[in-house]
C-alpha cells in the first residue's frame, strides 16, 4: 500500500469523507456559537460522532466504538449532568464583550495560526517518517493489533493511566464533597467570611 496519495479514490469514499467533515466542522461551530450550554453539548455530540465516522473510514474501528462509548456516552453526559445540576443552562450574554477588541483579535490570531499550520504541513509534504516503527496496522484485526501493542510496547503508559484514573476519581470526590464545616452548627461564620471577602474585592 505504498503511494497512498496516488491510488484512485472511489466516489463513496469521498462522499463519506465530505459527510464526516461537514458533521465535524458544523458541530464544532455549533459548540462555539450556541448561546445555551445545553445546545453546545448537543453540538459536541455531533462533532464526536463525525470524528467516529472518520475513524471508521480510516480502519480504526475499535477507536470509533470507544469514541462513541466514552466521549458521547460518558463525557458529554457528564457535561450535561453538571449543566443541569448547576442550573447554568440559561443563556450567556454572548453579544457582550467584556474586553473590547479581544474577540476579533482572538479570531484573527487563530485564523493566522491555523492558516500557518496548514501551510507548513503542505510545505512539508503533510507527513514523513519511518513506517511501522511500533507495529504495523492490521485493518482486518485492529483490536488485536492495538491490544498487543498496548500490553507490550505501551505497558508502562497503560499502568500509568490506571494510576491517573485513581487520582482523578479521588480528586473528583474530594472536590465535589461539601466541606464538613457547613454541616456543623457554624455555617453562618463561613457565610460571613465569604460576604466579607466579597466586600473587600
How many CB atoms within 10 Å of residue 20?
Answer: 19
CB 75 within 8 A of CB 41: no
Q: Which of 84, 135, 189, 195 binds other proteins (CB under 8 A)?
A: 135
- Candidates 15, 12, 13; CA nearest to 4 is 13
Contact 35, 94 (CB under 8 A): yes
Question: CA 42, CA 77: separation in Å to the nearest integer?
Answer: 10
118 binds other proteins (CB under 8 A): yes
197 sits near other proteins (criterion: CB under 8 A): yes
Closer Cβ to other proteins, 126 or 185, answer by number: 126
Q: How far is the CB of 113 from other proteins (least distance, A)?
A: 7
Site for other proteins in 31-60 (CB under 8 A): 31-32, 34, 37, 40-41, 44, 47-48, 51, 54-55, 57-60
Q: Binding to other proteins (CB under 8 A): which residues in 55-114?
A: 55, 57-60, 62-63, 66-67, 70-71, 74-75, 78-79, 82-83, 85-86, 88, 92, 98, 102-103, 106-107, 109-111, 113-114
Asked if 21 touches other proteins (CB under 8 A), the answer is yes
Q: Is 5 in the site for other proteins (CB under 8 A)?
A: yes
CB of 24 to other proteins, least distance (A): 6
Interacting residue with other proteins among 11, 123, 183, 194 (CB under 8 A): 194
Kindly provide the b/e burial profile for residues 41-70, where b requires at least 16 CB atoms within 10 angstroms of the residue's own CB. bbbbbbbbbbbbbbbbeeebbbbbeebbee
Q: Does residue 193 bind other proteins (CB under 8 A)? A: no
Interaction of residue 189 with other proteins, rule CB under 8 A: no
Q: How far apart are CA 121 and CA 116, in angstroms?
A: 9
DSSP 8-class letter at 69: I
Amino acid at each position: 500500500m505504498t503511494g497512498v496519495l496516488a491510488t484512485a479514490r472511489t466516489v463513496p469514499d469521498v462522499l463519506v469523507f465530505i459527510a464526516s467533515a461537514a458533521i465535524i466542522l458544523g458541530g464544532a461551530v455549533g459548540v462555539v456559537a450556541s448561546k445555551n450550554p445545553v445546545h453546545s453539548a448537543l453540538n459536541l455530540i455531533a462533532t464526536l460522532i463525525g470524528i467516529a465516522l472518520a475513524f471508521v473510514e480510516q480502519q480504526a474501528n475499535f477507536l470509533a466504538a470507544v469514541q462513541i462509548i466514552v466521549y458521547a456516552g460518558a463525557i458529554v453526559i457528564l457535561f450535561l449532568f453538571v449543566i443541569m445540576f448547576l442550573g447554568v443552562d440559561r443563556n450567556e450574554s454572548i453579544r457582550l464583550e467584556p474586553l473590547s477588541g479581544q474577540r476579533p483579535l482572538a479570531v484573527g490570531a487563530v485564523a493566522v495560526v491555523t492558516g500557518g499550520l496548514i501551510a507548513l504541513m503542505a510545505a512539508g509534504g503533510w507527513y514523513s517518517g519511518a513506517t511501522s516503527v511500533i507495529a504495523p496496522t492490521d485493518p482486518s484485526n485492529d483490536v488485536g493489533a492495538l491490544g498487543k501493542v498496548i500490553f507490550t510496547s505501551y505497558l508502562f503508559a497503560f499502568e500509568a493511566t490506571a494510576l491517573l484514573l485513581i487520582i482523578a476519581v479521588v480528586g473528583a470526590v474530594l472536590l465535589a464533597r461539601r466541606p464538613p464545616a457547613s454541616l456543623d452548627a457554624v455555617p453562618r461564620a463561613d457565610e460571613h467570611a465569604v460576604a466579607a471577602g466579597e466586600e473587600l474585592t
